[in-house]
Amino acid sequence: MKAPTKELEYALTSVSDSVGFLTRVVQVQINEHVKASGGLDISLATLSLLRLLQANPGIRQVDVARILMIQESNTASLVKSLVNKGLIEIYRDESTRRGLRVTKAGEREIEKWSVTSEMDRSFASVLSDKEYRQLLALLDRVYKSRLDELSKT
């Protein structure tokens, strides 16, 4: 595989075989695509966190960190920021366990950016629908495998 630039072509063999490299490059490109198409007021990571809370009201912060595979200290900073913005709230349930949930403002933010799946699909327009579903299934399998490993520790 070759990487053309304005003047030369470079071999990509050593980097194009790396899942880490390829996923990082695709993530960077998706972020740039989102910014160029009007952008999000929030990051895609924040949107992922909001969607996780929406699907799991009352989830514990430590579980959010584990599921999203981000450091607990980074999760704490993000939670604090989202609480301050009024997008999520920390509450105690009947068992006095602390949990997180999305506020009405957070729900509106999620709805506002429901087009991100369409953006993802248009970004990957080089793939057929079958290939796109296969890509998602394969990435999901890798993610869940790693999540299973982490839950055993």
Residue 102, class by beta-carbon neighbours within 10 Å (0-12 exposed, 13-18 middle, 19+ buried)? buried
Confidence of residue 20 (pLDDT cuts 50, 70, 90): confident
Q: Where are the beta strands (DSSP E) in the chain?
A: 2-4, 9-11, 88-92, 98-102
Amino acid of residue 48 = S
Q: Whole-angstrom Cα distance, residue 141 to residue 21?
A: 18
Query: What global pTM score does this model have?
Result: 0.75
For the chain, the structural domain boundaries read: 1-38, 40-114, 123-153
Is domain 40-114 in CATH 1.10.10.10, yes or no? yes
Rounded average pLDDT over 79-93: 92
The answer, yes or no, to whether residue 21 has pLDDT greater than 90, is no
Tens-digit pLDDT profile for residues 96-118 = 678 999 999 999 888 877 766 67
Rounded to the nearest angstrom, the gap between the alpha carbon of residue 22 and the centroid of all alpha carbons in its chain is 16
Higher per-residue confidence, 85 vs 6: 85
